[in-house]
Amino acid sequence: MNEKNASFNAGVCLTRIAAKYPDAVAIAEPVKRGKKTLRDSRGNRLFRTVTFAELDRRSDDVAAGLRASGLTPGMKIVLMVRHGIDFITLVYALFKAGATLVLIDPGGGMKQVVGCLGAVDPDGFAAIPAVQTARALMGRIFPRAKLNLTVGRTLLPRRLTLDKLLRRFRGSAPNPAAVAPDDPAAIVFTSGSTGPAKGVLYTHRVINTQVVEIQKMYHIEPGTVDLAAFPFFGLFNAAMGSLTVIPDMDTTHPGAVDPSAFVEVANQWQITQSFASPAVWRRVVRYCRDTGKSIPTLRRAISAGAPFPADLLPDFLAILHPEGDVYTPYGATESLPAASIGAREILAETAAESLLGKGTCVGRPFGQIEWRIIPITDEPIETLESVPSLPPGEIGELALTGPQVTREYVTRKEANRFAKIRDGQGRIWHRIGDVGRLDEKNRFWFCGRKAHRVETPEGPLFSVPCETILNRHPDLARTALAGIPAADPGRREPVIFLEPKPEKFPRTAAEKQALLDSVRAMAAASPVTERIRHFLILAQFPVDVRHNAKINREKLSDMAAEILGVQSR
The greatest distance separating any two alpha carbons of the chain, rounded to the nearest whole angstrom, comes to 74
Instruction: Give the three-state DSSP class for 50.
Output: strand
Instruction: Examine the domain organization and report whether 79 and 174 are in the same domain.
Output: yes
> How many domains, in total, are found in the chain?
3
Judgement on whether residues 406 and 462 belong to the same structural domain of the protein = no
pLDDT score at 105: 85
- Classify residue 142: in a domain, yes or no: yes
Phi, psi of 472, rounded to the nearest 5 degrees: -75, -10
Q: What CATH number does the domain containing 436 carry?
A: 2.30.38.10
Residue range of the domain that includes 525: 453-568
Q: Over 70: is that where the pLDDT of 569 sits?
A: no
**pLDDT at residue 482 in the model:** 95
Predicted pLDDT at 546:
54
Work out the mean pLDDT of the chain and round it to a whole number: 94
Q: Are residues 518 and 476 in the same domain?
A: yes
201 neighbors 408 (Cβ within 8 angstroms):
yes
Classify residue 63 as exposed, middle or buried by CB count within 10 Å of its CB (0-12, 13-18, 19+): buried
Q: Beta strand 476-484 with 493-500: parallel, antiparallel or unpaired?
A: antiparallel
568 pLDDT higher than 50 = no
Quick check: 353 pLDDT over 80? yes
User: pLDDT tens, 283-312?
Assistant: 999 999 999 999 999 999 999 877 788 889
CATH number of the domain residue 62 falls in: 3.40.50.980
With bands split at pLDDT 50, 70 and 90, how would you rate the model's confidence at 192? confident
Distance CA 511, CA 441 (A): 45
Within this chain, do residues 480 and 378 fall inside the same structural domain, yes or no?
no
Cα Rg of the chain, angstroms: 24
Residue 516: its H or E element: helix 509-524
What's the pLDDT band for 504 if we cut at 50, 70, 90?
A: very high
Residue 489 confidence (pLDDT) = 78
The whole-angstrom separation of Cα 384 and Cα 165 is 49
pLDDT of residue 233 exceeding 90: no
| Assigned domain for 310 exists | no
Strand order in the sheet with 100-103: 147-150, 124-127, 76-80, 100-103, 184-189, 199-203
What percent of the chain is predicted at pLDDT more than 70? 97
Q: What is the pLDDT of residues 47-94, one digit of tens each?
A: 999 999 999 999 999 999 999 999 999 999 999 999 999 999 999 999
Residue 175: count other Cβ atoms within 10 Å of its Cβ. 13
In a domain, residue 329? The reply is no
The verdict on 69 and 199 lying in the same domain is yes
Task: Report yes or no: 484 and 492 within 8 Å, Cβ to Cβ.
Answer: yes
Instruction: Give the closest residue to 477 by CA, choosing from 487, 489, 467, 488.
Output: 467
What value does the mean pLDDT take over residues 525-536? Answer: 96
Residue 384 lies in a domain: yes
Same domain as 159, residue 27? yes
For 430-451, what is the mean pLDDT?
A: 97
The predicted pLDDT at position 548 comes to 57
Per-residue HEC secondary structure of 305-365 comes to: CCCCCHHHHHHHHHCCCCCCEEECCEEECCEEEEEECEHHHHHHHHHHHHHCCCCEEEEEE
Residue 228 within any structural domain of the chain: no
- Predicted confidence at residue 507, as pLDDT, reads 95
Query: Mean per-residue pLDDT for 444-448?
Result: 97
What's 553's domain CATH number? 3.30.300.30
Whether 384 and 422 have beta carbons less than 8 Å apart is answered as yes
Do β-strands 184-189 and 100-103 pair in parallel, antiparallel, or remain unpaired? parallel
- Asked if 528 and 357 count as a contact pair (C-beta separation under 8 A), the reply is yes
At 567 the pLDDT is 43
> Mean pLDDT, to the nearest integer, of 444-462?
95
**What gap in Å lies between CA 313 and CA 295, rounded to an integer?**
15
Q: How many CA atoms lie within 13 A of 82 on its CB side?
A: 15
Q: What is the pLDDT of residues 255-266, one digit of tens each?
A: 899 999 999 999
The answer as to whether 48 is a domain residue is yes
DSSP for 79-90 reads EE--TTHHHHHH
Residues 90 and 198 in one domain: yes
Q: Which of 420, 450, 480 is the last residue of a domain?
A: 450
**pTM assigned to the model:** 0.93
Q: Is residue 68 part of a domain?
A: yes
* Residue 16: strand, helix, or coil: helix
Q: Which of 205, 238, 266 is the last residue of a domain?
A: 205
Contacts of 387 (CB under 8 A, 6+ apart): 374, 375, 381
Eight-state DSSP code of residue 448: E
Verify that 464 and 486 share a domain, yes or no: yes
Mean per-residue pLDDT, 550-558: 86
d(CA 401, CA 369): 6
**Residues 408, 479: one domain?**
no
**One domain, residues 180 and 31:** yes
pLDDT of residue 547: 52
Q: Does residue 197 share a domain with residue 65? A: yes
Pick from 317, 392, 310, 324: nearest CA to 355: 310
Domain boundary among 205, 240, 266: 205
- Domain-embedded: residue 324: no
Is 514 strand, coil or helix?
Answer: helix
Do 515 and 435 reside in the same domain of the chain?
Answer: no
The pLDDT-based confidence of 549 (bands split at 50, 70, 90) is low
